[in-house]
Amino acid sequence: MLILAMTIAAVFVLLSQWQFNSSREAPPPAPSTTENVRPLTGVLPPRTPLSAANADQVVSFEGTFLAGTRVLVQDRLLGDEEGLWVLQAFEVDGSGVPAGTDGASVIPVVLGWVPDAQDAASVPEQQGMATVVGRLLPPEAPEVQRPVEGQIPTLSTAELSNLWDRSSYAAFVVASDVAVDGVEVPFAAGLEQVVVGPQPQETPVNWLNIFYAVEWVVFAGFAFFLWWRLVADDYRRTLEDEADAAEEARTGGAHPGAVEPAVVLSAPVSDHESGAHRD
């Protein structure tokens, strides 16, 4: 029984250790890695999800801005001021599909920030061949709300893929440098540059996993308590049986507490008493 209790407790302790290890999520990639510019096609192939190890990476890619794909992303802050992101589809060269075909993948590129939609209308769209350097970020979840012409509530690549009718990368890029024909495009020309720095390096803690870890430790203690209780009950029964056997030996086999039958002795009847009865 002790071996069984120890085995169960050991399993619970291992589960607790696993939960403790899982409570500390993997930290984001170090800036020494993410700030080195890498080719987009070597970091994120088309039609594949963006992993945590590749998120926040600064990438570069060449291709073509697609005309007529400008979209404004709502509720974006620049400092304390709320505005919109200016977004455009970019067809990436070297994605494994010939450029200019419907099968070629595009990636959403954030070109800048404007305080309102009217300011964006005065800025011409990017067109033609270009080279983009920017930070690769995961897409946002779609939101359902009343549509506004030319605007979207979140930067959801699935929604943009339907909007543009093109296959999209499962990520977007916030541009830090855009060059057309080798000449850098200034962001000051009607757009405020969106600056996204590297992620903080603190390792997040999952408190739910810690709660489960403590719970497994309690279960391990309960296994030993259950073993102790079974042993204690068995020991108490043994003592009771030994006490009963000793009492039975002392009384010669009689049942403890039994009352022996009383013996009534009658006195002899004298002749005088007999004669009185005869009279």
Among 184, 216, 243, residue at a domain's last position: 184
Instruction: List beta partners, residue 82.
Output: 77
37 and 19 share one domain: no
Report pLDDT digits (tens) over 8-65: 767 766 766 666 666 555 555 566 678 899 999 899 988 899 988 888 899 999 999 9
The domain that contains 166 carries what CATH number? 2.40.50.140
Amino acid 164: pLDDT: 93
211 in helix, strand or coil? helix
User: Residue 219 has what pLDDT?
Assistant: 76
Angle of helix 2-23 versus helix 207-250 axis, rounded to 10: 170
Give me the chain's average pLDDT, please: 79
**Rounded to the nearest 5°, which phi and psi values hold at 142?**
-70, 155
In a domain, 277, yes or no: no
Say yes or no: 44 and 19 in one domain.
no
Residues 48 and 60 in one domain: yes
Are 22 and 47 in a shared domain?
no
The predicted pLDDT at position 68 comes to 92
In terms of domains, do 173 and 225 share one?
no
Domain shared by 15 and 71, yes or no: no
pTM of the model: 0.63
Instruction: Show the domain range for 143.
Output: 29-184
pLDDT above 70 for 229: yes
Q: Are residues 75 and 3 in the same domain?
A: no
Q: What is the DSSP letter of 29?
A: P
> Cα angle at 198 between 154 and 204, to 5 degrees?
85
Q: Is residue 140 part of a domain?
A: yes
**For residue 242, what pLDDT is reported?**
81
Q: Report how many domains make up the chain.
A: 2
Question: pLDDT of 236-262, one tens digit each?
Answer: 888 888 887 888 888 865 555 555 555
- Are 75 and 175 contained in the same domain? yes
More confident residue, 267 or 7: 7
Is the same domain home to 15 and 40?
no
33: three-class secondary structure by DSSP? helix
List all residues 6 or more positions away from 15 whose beta carbon is below 8 Å from its beta carbon. 216
For the stretch 117-169, pLDDT in tens is 988 888 888 888 999 999 999 999 988 877 788 999 999 999 999 999 999 99
138 and 106 fall within a common domain: yes
Q: Kindly state whether residues 160 and 99 are assigned to the same domain.
A: yes
241 within some domain: yes
Query: Are 80 and 217 within one domain?
Result: no
Give a yes or no: residue 279 inside a domain. Answer: no
